[in-house]
Structure 1
Amino acid sequence: MRLARLAGLSFALLTSAATAEPTGLKAVPITSFSRVAPEQKVFGSLRFRGGLVLSSTASGFGGYSGLRMDADGFGFHAVSDRAHWLTGRLVYEGYRVTGIESADISPVLGRTGAALDGTLDDDTEGLEISGSTAWIVTERSDNLLRFDLADGVAGARGVMIPMPKEVSGLPNNAALESIALLPPGGPNEGQLLVISEEAFATDNHAAWLVDTDGLEPAIRLEVRARDGYAVTDATFIPGGDLVILERRFRPPLSLHTRLRRIARADIVGGAVLDGSLLMEASRSEEIDNMEAVSAHRAADGTTVLTLLSDDNMSLFQRTVLLQFGLEDSTGEAGAAQ
C-alpha cells in the first residue's frame, strides 16, 4: 500500500455495488518472466510456470493486496485495498495458467451489511481463508475482521476480532499488512500470524500470534527486517513453512520483490523470524507492485506460489498474476497441472 504514497500516485474514486457484478475481465498470458533472458525458467529456488496481466473496466477492479487459492489451484479469492472481493477460477493449459473464468467483484461488507468503502476499515490488506471462514486485516484502522463465507462473499459480513492495544500505535499506512493461519503440526497451531508492513521501534517488523476468535491474549514476536524491504504478504506452504512476500521501492523507478522462507518450528512467541531467500526480482522481470501471495499443491505434487500485484488504481501500473513452482517440492516443476 505504501508504494502509492511514495510514488505520489492518485487513486481513482470507486463506487460500490450492492451485489456481485461481472467483471468483463481480460487476461493476457505472460510466457516469460525475464525481460532480458526470456529462455530463463529458474529464478533462485523457483521455476516460473506462467502468469497473466489482468484488466477490467469494472468499478471495483484493481488494488489487490490479499489472495488465497483453493486447494486445487483453480478457484481463488482476492481482496483489494479498496474493500472489494474478486473471485473466480484460473484456466490452465497443462501446468501453465492462461486465463480466468467466472470472475465476480463484490464489495466487502461490515457488521451492519454496509460496504466498507469510505470508512477507516476500507483499507483491506491481508486475507486468510480456512474452510468457510475468512479473516481480513485492515491497515489504516489496524482491525481484524472475520467473515462467514458459507453462502459466498457477496453477503458475508465482517465481525471484529479484538487486537492488542499496542497495534493501534503503529504508523498509519504502514501497519498491519499480512495474515496467515498457522497449520497443524507445530507450536501455536490454529492461530493467526499478523505482520506489519514496515519496520518500527525495534528495527524489525512487528508481528503477533492472534486467537481466531480473539479469546486468548495475543503473543508478540517479530520478523527480521532486511535490506529496506517491506513485508506485503505471507502464506504457509504445504509442509508447514512460512513464505513471506516483500517489496522495496526507491523512487522514481527502482522496484524489487522477493520471497523468503521461514521454518514452521521457528514461529513461537518472542522469536525474531528470519529465513532463506527463495527469489528476488526487479524491473528486469515481469513484476509490478507485488502485494499478495498464496500457496497450493498442484496435481503433479509441486508446491505452487501464486503472486498478485496491487496496481494502486494507476494507469502506470498493472495487475499481474504470477505462478512459480518450488524446486525442492515433490514432483517435477513444469509437469502437467
Structure 2
Amino acid sequence: MRRSPAIRLSLALMAAAALAVATYAGARAGRVSAEARLIGSYTWAPPVQPEKPWFGGFSGIEMGKDGRSMILLSDRAHLVRARINRTEGRITSARVTKRRSLRASTGRILQGRIVDSEGLAIAPDGSLYISFEGVSRVAHHQRGGSRAEVLPRPNAFRQMPANKALEALAIDGAGHLYTLPENAPDKDGNLPVWKWDGSEWSQPFSLPRRGRFMPVGADFGPDGRFYLLERNFLFFGFRSRLRRWDITEDGPQNETTLLQTALGTHDNLEGVSIWRDAAGILRATMVSDDNFLSVQRTELVEYSLPD
C-alpha cells in the first residue's frame, strides 16, 4: 500500500514507538494460534542503495518449490528474484539475483498513480499476474520484463476507493484468479472475492470479516485451500492473522484461523506464499512492507501449518 507523505510521517512516528515495545511484544509471541508454529524470522537488510532506492515496500511473494528461490513484488512496481540460504530450515541470508521494473501495456516503465502494485500470482506456465490499488486492475505479464496485458475492468473495480482496492491476488490449480480489495466491503460488510475464469470476472462469494483485520495477501496452497493474510494496524504497531478455507461449488467452507499474532510480533506483513518443504511440512512464508521507512524493516517470516 502506498501512502501520502503525511501518512508516512505518522507511520514513522508510530513505528518508532512500536520499536520501544517490540521486545515485550515478541516475548508474547506464544499467544499466537497453537496450530501455527513459528519457524523463524529474518530481517533482510537492503543492499547498497542506488541513487533511486528500490529495495523495500514488498507486498507480494512467491516461493519456489525448493524453498530457496523466491519472487517478490514491491508496491513501486519492481519485481525482484532472490535466493535464500537456510540453516536447519531457517532463513539465514538472502540476496537479490535479478530486478526488473514492470511495464505498462505500451511497453513503457510504469510511473505515476498507476504504479501501486500489490498482489502477485504465478501461473502454471510461469507467467505473472499482478493486482493494483491506485487504478484498480489486474495485469498479466508473460515475463517480468514484458509489457502488461490488462484484464477487463468491471465497473466495481473502477468504483473501489483509492489505496483500498485490489490488495490480494491468488491463482488456483485450474488457473482461475481470485482477488479482493483491502477495504471495499459488500453490502453486508463482508469481504467480496472476485474470480477471473479466463474470460470474465464474477463475484461468486464473500468472506466473513472478523474484527478490524483487513486483507493484504492471499494464496492457494499445495493442499488446494485458500489462504488469506490479514493485517490490523494500531498505534504501536501491527498484528497479523492467517485464515484458510476450502473453496467448494457451494462457496467457502471450513474457515480456520491458523495464526493471530500479538501487537508488534512482526512488522507489516503483506505478502504470503504457502508451500511444502522437503519434509512434507506445510509452510507459510510472509514478507513485510517497510513503507520505505528506516524505522521499519523488511522481514521474512515463516510458520509451519497443520494439514
Q: Same fold (TM over 0.5)?
A: yes
Letter in 2 for 1:129: I
Q: 2:106 aligns with which of 99, 109, 112?
A: 112
Is contact 1:180–1:234 with CA below 8 Å preserved after alignment?
Answer: yes
**1:129 maps onto 2:137 in alignment:** no
**Are 1:46 and 2:36 an aligned pair?**
yes
Aligned CA distance change for structure 1 residues 325 and 145 (closer, same or farther; 3 Å): same
Q: Are 1:42 and 1:48, in contact at CA under 8 Å, matched by a contact in 2?
A: no
Alignment partner, residue 193 of structure 2? 207
Label 1:237 to 1:33 Cα distance change in 2 as closer, same or farther (>3 A).
farther
Residue deviations 1:151-201 (CA, integer Å, cap 9, x gap):
xx2x22211111322211111110111111122xxxxx3210111111424
The one of 246, 257, 261 equivalent to 1:281 is 261
Match of 2:205 in 1: 221
Equivalence map 1:9-28=2 (5 Å): 9-10=8-9
Q: In the alignment, residue 161 of structure 2 is paired with which amino acid?
A: P
- The residue identity in structure 2 corresponding to 1:308 is V
The residue number in structure 2 matching 1:159 is 149
1:146 to 1:318, Cα distance in 2 relative to 1, 3 A: same
How far apart are the structure 1 equivalents of 2:24 and 2:100? 31
Residue of structure 2 equivalent to 1:36: 27
- Cα–Cα, structure 1 residues 221 and 163, in superposed 2: closer, same or farther, change >3 Å? farther
> Partner residue of 1:190?
175
| Residue 112 of structure 1: how far off its partner (Å) | 2.4
| Equivalent residues of 1:205, 1:222 under 8 A apart | yes
Cα displacement string for residues 237-263 of structure 1 (whole angstroms, at most 9, x for unaligned residues): 12111110000113x215211101111
Q: What is the rounded CA distance, in whole Å, between the counterparts of 1:200 and 1:5 in structure 2?
A: 23
Aligned 8 A contact 1:81 1:124 in 2? yes
Is the CA contact 2:219–2:226 (under 8 Å) kept in the aligned structure 1?
A: yes
Query: What secondary structure, in the 3-state scheme, does the structure 2 residue paired with 1:277 have?
Result: strand
Q: Report Cα offsets for 1:191-217 as digits up to 9, x if no partner.
A: 1011111142421122211134xx234
Structure 1 match to 2:139: 145
Whichever structure has more helix as a proportion of its residues is: 2
Q: Counterparts of 1:41 and 1:94 in 2: how far apart (Å)?
A: 24
**Residues 92 and 132 (structure 1), Cα distance of their counterparts in 2 relative to 1, 3 Å cut:** same
Contact 1:90–1:101 at 8 Å: present in 2 too? yes
- Pairs aligned (count): 289
Residue of structure 1 in register with 2:227 after alignment: 243
Partner Cα separation in structure 1 for residue 201 and residue 273 of structure 2: 27
The one-letter code matched in structure 1 to 2:193 is A
Q: State the Cα distance separating 1:307 from its structure 2 match.
A: 0.4
Residues 309 and 254 of structure 1: CA distance in aligned 2, closer, same or farther (over 3 Å): closer
Within 2, Cα distance between the matches of 1:225 and 1:307?
A: 21
Superposed, which structure 2 residues align to 1:84-123 within 5 Å? Answer: 84-118=78-112, 120-123=113-116
Match of 2:57 in 1: 63
Which residue of structure 2 aligns with residue 17 of structure 1? none
Question: Given the superposition, is the C-alpha separation of residues 34 and 325 from structure 1 closer, same or farther in structure 2, using an over 3 Å criterion?
Answer: farther
* 1:218 to partner: Cα distance: 2.6
Which one is further off, 68-77 or 105-114? 105-114
TM-score by length of 1: 0.79
Which consecutive residues of structure 2, in runs of 5 or more, have no partner in the other structure?
Answer: 11-22
Q: Secondary structure at the match of 2:182?
A: strand
The residue correspondences of 1:288-303 to structure 2 (distance < 5 A) are 288-303=267-282
Mapped partners of 1:277, 1:5: distance in 2 = 32
Match in the other structure for 1:26: none
1:264 match: secondary structure = strand
